[in-house]
Chain A
Amino acid sequence: MVKQIEKITQKPVVQIATIVPIMLTVGANRMVPGIAIPHPVGDPTKSKAEEYNLRRSLVLRALNAATVDINEPTTF
């Protein structure tokens, strides 16, 4: 799905997911490793405030990845 969105829009798609090897296989070019499968941008073991900050930093990392030029699939 990621590949096609990037191909058609010609804009960076950043994927946040846990299983990086699968992302490498299906060709997502910009990847940010998520926390865990059931909650890629969450962490129920943390307090609400800590969790929000963690999510925010992951999202910012993803946004930042879109501002960086790359030549090949890259994990940020």
Chain B
Amino acid sequence: MKKRIVYYLNQFYGGIGGEDKADTKPFFLNEAVGPAVKFSELIDQEGEVVGTIVCGDNFYSSNMEEARKNCLEFLKALKPDFFVAGPAFNAGRYGIACGDICAFVEKGLNIPTITGMYDENPGVPLYREHTIIVKVANNARGMNEALRKMSTLALKIMKNQELFSAEDEGYFHRNIRKNFFYDEIGAVRAIEMGLKKYRGEYFKTELEMPKFDKIPPARAVGPLNECKVALCTSGGIVPKGNPDRLPVSASDRWGKWDVSNIEKLTPENAESIHGGYDRTYANLDPNRVIPVDVLKDLEKEGIIKKLHPYIYYTVGTSTSVNNAERFGREIGVELKNAGVDIIILTST
């Protein structure tokens, strides 16, 4: 069974006009037109273009919600297996339209999508993670080559073949890391990289250093005797028996523990399950990782107004940054709702 493909083009490639027709609302044709014709030929062994959507670039960028809705209507009726847009080369509005409609279709219909852009197209950083954007030339003289690249990749996807890296397949990577086997072992790659670096020759690092965002510091609070304090830890201290069944590393969850009736942590009521350090000391006295004993005393003595009854815990080894951020957001919401003034977080 041949795969059914719907193709998206702007007013120019759709053959209805230039800038004067950029406000055209999306309409549907029951056949391939413009570049979709050539594309259909190239993927003939696996699929065919059964219809084309044409939409004015201005209309799409000024009426994104409506444009998406209209296109989705056409697609729902057709039930395509695959969706293609562009290529947009370096045209900004067209690039954004292609990227956006592909992202939307991929999410809404759960079908693979593909488009093509030049690397300076603003659509690239916006949509690279949500569709496959093939790297193409910066103007229409590169159309044949662009269609060739897009169709080759589309064929692979339609045949369910395993893809190589983004660089090898010729598309802008989606910010995802994947394991592959190289020809050489890591040690050899390192020494060859070292020789190139020494000689001043071009070399490609296998991982670029990321940039972390800073957030502005929160305003100071006080005086302490009017403050509600909450304790959190990523040191893997959990209630004895690990009732929330936190994993020993790469945690996907956090837990909270009501300590209002406990004076301090002990080997009887708590334990460490963190897989990344020697837990002997923590198990003998869990307060060494999360100082419940001291905070309880400070509360009794009136140095702080109150210790928030819940302590929040997770295991901070090999935690993915995305999960850590999610835990922070979720715990943050609870603490905000509880009116906490100071948060102390211990890490191992």
Whether the complex brings A and B within 8 Å at their CB atoms is answered: yes
Contact assessment for B222 and A4 in the assembled complex, using a CB-CB cutoff below 8 Å: no
Shortest distance in angstroms between B220's beta carbon and chain A's nearest beta carbon? 4
Asked whether A38 and B213 contact (CB < 8 A) given A4-B328, A9-B218, A66-B220, the answer is no
Asked whether B298 is an interface residue with its Cβ less than 8 Å from the other chain, the reply is yes
The size bracket of the interface on B is: 35 or more
Contact assessment for B335 and A63 in the assembled complex, using a CB-CB cutoff below 8 Å: no
Give the contacts of A1-59 with B (CB-CB under 8 A). Answer: 1-19, 23, 25-30, 34, 37-44, 51-52, 55-56, 58-59
Contact assessment for B314 and A40 in the assembled complex, using a CB-CB cutoff below 8 Å: no
8 Å CB contact of B217 from A17, A23, A67, A72: A72
Contact assessment for B343 and A9 in the assembled complex, using a CB-CB cutoff below 8 Å: yes
Instruction: Tell which of B108-116, B183-191, B272-280 binds the partner.
Output: B272-280
Provide the residues of chain A in CB contact with B70, threshold 8 Å: none
Provide the residues of chain A in CB contact with B281, threshold 8 Å: 38-39, 42, 44
Contact assessment for A38 and B343 in the assembled complex, using a CB-CB cutoff below 8 Å: no
Provide the residues of chain A in CB contact with B229, threshold 8 Å: 63
Contact assessment for B344 and A14 in the assembled complex, using a CB-CB cutoff below 8 Å: yes
Instruction: Tell which of B2-10, B149-157, B192-200, B284-292 binds the partner.
Output: B284-292
Asked whether B12 is an interface residue with its Cβ less than 8 Å from the other chain, the reply is no
Contact assessment for B217 and A29 in the assembled complex, using a CB-CB cutoff below 8 Å: yes
Provide the residues of chain B in CB contact with A59, threshold 8 Å: 291, 294-295, 298, 344
Provide the residues of chain A in CB contact with B290, threshold 8 Å: 41
Provide the residues of chain A in CB contact with B285, threshold 8 Å: 42, 44, 51
The size bracket of the interface on A is: 35 or more
Shortest distance in angstroms between B197's beta carbon and chain A's nearest beta carbon? 24
Shortest distance in angstroms between A31's beta carbon and chain B's nearest beta carbon? 10
Asked whether B176 is an interface residue with its Cβ less than 8 Å from the other chain, the reply is no
Provide the residues of chain A in CB contact with B293, threshold 8 Å: 52, 55
Asked whether B263 is an interface residue with its Cβ less than 8 Å from the other chain, the reply is no
**A43 CA / B314 CA spacing, docked (Å):** 22
Asked whether B325 is an interface residue with its Cβ less than 8 Å from the other chain, the reply is yes
Most chain B beta-carbon neighbours within 10 Å: one of A5, A13, A16, A60: A5
Give the contacts of B195-220 with A (CB-CB under 8 A). Answer: 212-215, 217-220
Shortest distance in angstroms between A68's beta carbon and chain B's nearest beta carbon? 5
**A44 CA / B285 CA spacing, docked (Å):** 9
Closest to A23 in B: B347
Give the contacts of B294-348 with A (CB-CB under 8 A). Answer: 294-295, 297-298, 303-304, 314, 316, 324-329, 331-333, 335-336, 340-348
Interface residues of A, Cβ cutoff 8 Å to B: 1-19, 23, 25-30, 34, 37-44, 51-52, 55-56, 58-60, 62-64, 66-74
Q: List 30 A-B contacts (CB under 8 A).
A: A3-B213, A4-B324, A5-B335, A5-B343, A8-B335, A9-B340, A10-B336, A11-B335, A11-B343, A14-B342, A14-B344, A26-B212, A29-B218, A37-B348, A38-B282, A40-B289, A40-B346, A40-B348, A41-B287, A42-B287, A44-B284, A44-B285, A55-B287, A55-B288, A59-B291, A63-B304, A68-B220, A69-B220, A70-B220, A71-B217
